[in-house]
């Protein structure tokens, strides 16, 4: 691979010229000393050689600095190739750092110039949408080229010459913008009113459902009170549909013609259905469930839930139900009632363990 040669900086050129001058001075002094020694016939060649080496060492010390201290080991020899490669690496790194600083300086200058860069007309948004020079009155003529400046001047002259027409066009444009803004506002207001109306419909629907649930729970409690009343005379005339089950019967069937207790099956006695009937959910909790947020349960709610489940378990406990209610059920529905009572008891046990 060829050696990389970088362009010298002014400081490097000065240093190189200084080294050349020192080298030339050294050579000149050496030649003068040799000529003087050649004229002295009494001196031996060994003395002249030692004197010349001393002069060379003095000159090297002036140019390259003092020599390194002698090594403690007599067998140590300097590795001139390693020293030369280290010097070349140091010079290369210095040149690279200088080049990097120059690039950073140029990048900074380029960034400052870009702050005042002018966006050509063909790259403007209004030019792409068919805008004219009448729409570009905010342009700065200092950043225009000759053609753009000419068109800008012509547009200004036309505006002065046809002031009424220009004002009329500006008025029409302002009215169009105002109509567009009003239309946008009306659309936003319509969307807001639709959202408010939808929230009101949802609120009324929740209120109706809540009222139906309250009526169903009140009817459930009333039937159980009549069922456990010792003075009431039922005989053996109770059917499966006459038993007050802890379910919303009207909400299980969309068809009102089949919304009676006789249409209930064992599949309807689920944990979700019985829990929804026995443990009413507040309005705030219902809203939180609609948006997917779970609220913490308070101690009072836990206590009410426990009491309600305990009361229902006393009603539907198989042994208690068998002794108090089963004797009043007609013979054809007893097996079905027993299965339903057992399913309710299992669901209640599951809810009480939660």
What does the DSSP assignment read for 112-166? HHHTTPPPPGGGSHHHHTT--GGG-TT--GGG--HHHHHHHHHHHHHHHHTHHHH
**Residue 257, pLDDT score:** 42
* pLDDT digit string, tens, across residues 72-118: 544 456 677 888 888 888 888 888 888 777 777 666 666 666 555 55
**Contact residues for 145 (Cβ-Cβ < 8 A; gap 6+):** 120
Q: What would the pLDDT profile of 16-44 be if each residue is shown by its tens digit? A: 888 888 888 888 888 777 766 655 544 45
Examine the pLDDT at 191 and tell me if it is beyond 90. yes
pLDDT digits (tens, 9 = 90+) for 195-229: 999 999 999 998 998 889 899 999 999 999 888 88
pLDDT band at 138 (very low <50, low <70, confident <90, very high): low
pLDDT-based confidence at residue 128 (cuts at 50, 70, 90): very low
Residue 271 · residue 344 · CB < 8 Å: no
Q: Mean pLDDT of all residues in the chain?
A: 76
Asked which of 71-75, 205-209, 230-234, 254-258 is least confident by mean pLDDT, the reply is 254-258
Residue whose structure tokens are 């609609």? 290
Residue 285 has pLDDT above 60, yes or no: no
- Which pLDDT score is estimated for 292? 58
Strand, coil or helix: what is 329?
strand
Backbone angles phi, psi at 292, to 5 degrees: 80, 30
Q: What are the φ/ψ torsions at residue 329 (nearest 5 degrees)?
A: -85, 145
């Amino acid at each position: 691979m060829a050696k990389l040669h970088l362009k010298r900086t002014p400081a490097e050129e000065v240093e190189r010229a200084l080294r050349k001058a020192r080298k030339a001075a050294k050579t000149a002094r050496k030649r003068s000393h040799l000529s003087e020694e050649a004229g002295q016939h009494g001196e031996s060649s060994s003395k002249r050689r030692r004197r010349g080496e001393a002069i060379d060492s003095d000159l090297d010390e002036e140019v390259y600095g003092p020599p390194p201290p002698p090594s403690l080991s007599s067998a140590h020899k300097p590795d001139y190739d390693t020293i030369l490669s280290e010097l070349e690496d140091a010079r290369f790194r210095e040149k690279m750092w200088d080049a990097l600083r120059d690039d950073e300086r140029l990048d900074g200058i380029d960034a400052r110039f870009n702050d005042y860069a002018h966006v050509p007309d063909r790259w403007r948004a209004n030019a792409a949408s068919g805008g004219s020079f009448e729409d570009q009155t905010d342009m700065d003529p200092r950043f225009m080229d000759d053609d753009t400046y000419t068109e800008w001047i012509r547009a200004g002259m036309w505006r002065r010459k046809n002031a009424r027409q220009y004002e009329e066009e500006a008025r029409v444009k302002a009215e169009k913008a105002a109509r567009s803004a009003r239309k946008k506002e009306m659309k936003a207001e319509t969307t807001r009113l639709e959202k408010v109306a939808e929230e009101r419909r949802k609120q009324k629907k929740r209120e109706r459902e809540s009222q139906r649930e309250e009526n169903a729970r009140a009817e459930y409690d009333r039937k159980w009170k009549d069922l456990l009343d010792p003075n009431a005379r039922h005989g053996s005339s109770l059917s499966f549909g006459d038993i007050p089950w802890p379910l919303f019967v009207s909400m299980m069937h969309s068809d009102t013609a089949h919304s009676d207790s006789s249409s209930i099956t064992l599949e309807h006695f689920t944990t979700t259905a019985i829990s929804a009937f026995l443990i009413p959910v507040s309005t705030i909790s219902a809203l939180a469930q609609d948006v997917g947020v779970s609220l913490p349960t308070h101690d009072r709610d836990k206590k009410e839930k426990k009491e309600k489940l305990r009361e229902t378990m006393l009603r539907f406990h198989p042994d208690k139900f068998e002794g108090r209610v089963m004797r009043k059920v007609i013979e054809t529905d007893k097996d079905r009632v027993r299965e339903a009572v057992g399913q309710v008891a299992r669901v209640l046990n599951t809810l009480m363990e939660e």
